[in-house]
Structure 1
Amino acid sequence: MRRPMAAVASTVFFVLGPGSVAGLVPWLLTGWRVSEPIPYWAPFRVVGAVLLAAGVVVLVQAFVRFVVEGQGTPAPVAAPERLVVGGVFRYVRNPMYLASLAAIVGQALVLGQLVLLLYAAAVGVVAAAFVRWYEEPALSRRFGVQYEAYRRAVPPWWPRRRPWEPGESHRDGEQQ
């Protein structure tokens, strides 16, 4: 896929995918109304704002990486031509799911809407199942040995301490 088309398709998927999961649904659940679940909630709001901002930044960076490095989109219908392993993907295999969860949890804390924590848990379970039963097998079939080396070296959910370098075979570069 050519980069301009990949950029347009990624933008559309960004709005439909993470935009719906981390934006529209939280709004539908809460109306983005602020509540005060317990006294002295302010420190939680600060943490929430940081999580929300970090989640958005990581999502945007990951989507850009799909266009620039992968020459495609994160959407399965317009999958990248190349395996995307740069940027935040050097630390963790599933940064987009983690960033979406951070954005949802961030909203829960900023708004004091604890229902969003339950929603985040549900999204996390669905994402983990999707990764395990669809995404990993599909990437294995599509990219073979290259994906398997990446999969062995980069953890799916908890980021590495140091960025992975292609050719490095073990997690965090430790020899086994």
Structure 2
Amino acid sequence: MQKLELKVPPVAVVAIIAGVMALTSRLLPMQPWRFTDAKALAFALVTAGAFIAVAGVIAFRQAKTTVNPMKPEESSEVVQTGIYGFTRNPMYLGFLLALAGWGVWLGSLPALVWLIVYVLYMNRFQIIPEERILQQHFGAQYVNYRKRVRRWF
């Protein structure tokens, strides 16, 4: 399974999960669980997700370190300020919120199961390998950061 570590760009994972969520909502039709403000909630989740993800990118750009999730060894700094003071993975968290918004928009409870798959996949094949490399690269500085800030939220 190590062959999948850091191989699939997270944006591609999001696109695949979003597609599978849509497919699930069509293949497992059920009475939609629409509620009065479903569209507003979907919009709020997607907007919050985009804001959090972009805040992560901006923090990396300001620190002049790589935003390429496929090459964490190219990182030049452990970014610990701004959004990174609350979550170690704001881009992945933002994607999760956007996917949750997509699931609400689809109105399909079975589609939301794919959010769990997203988290499990990202933890195993993206985040854990990143953390391993960053710990090797930055040592105690990264270890201390991991102790202070949660992985997701």
TM-score (norm: length of structure 2): 0.75
Alpha carbons 1:66, 1:74 under 8 Å: kept: no
SS at match of 1:42: coil
Q: CA-atom RMSD, angstroms? A: 2.8
For structure 2, the residue ranges without an aligned partner over 5 or more in a row are 1-7
Distance 1:131 1:22, change over 3 A: closer
Shift of 1:118: 1.8
Q: Which has the higher contact order (CA 8 A, sep 6+)?
A: 2
Residue of structure 2 equivalent to 1:154: 149
Alpha carbons 2:17, 2:118 under 8 Å: kept: no
Residue of structure 1 equivalent to 2:22: 30
Separation in 1, partners of 2:11, 2:152: 21
Residue of structure 2 equivalent to 1:169: none
Alpha carbons 2:21, 2:112 under 8 Å: kept: no
Find the partner of 2:53 among 31, 35, 59: 59
Residue of structure 1 equivalent to 2:37: 43
Alpha carbons 1:88, 1:95 under 8 Å: kept: yes
Q: Which moved more, 1:40-49 or 1:52-61?
A: 40-49
For structure 1, the residue ranges without an aligned partner over 5 or more in a row are 1-15, 159-176
Shift of 1:36: 8.1
Shift of 1:138: 1.0
Q: Is 1:134 aligned to residue 126 of structure 2?
A: no
Find the partner of 1:21 among 13, 16, 20: 13
Shift of 1:88: 0.8
Q: Is 1:71 aligned to residue 65 of structure 2?
A: yes
Alpha carbons 1:44, 1:110 under 8 Å: kept: yes
Residue of structure 1 equivalent to 2:4: none
User: How high is the sequence identity, in percent, across the aligned residues?
Assistant: 24
The AA in structure 2 aligned to 1:53 is T
Residue of structure 1 equivalent to 2:3: none
Separation in 2, partners of 1:142, 1:39: 47
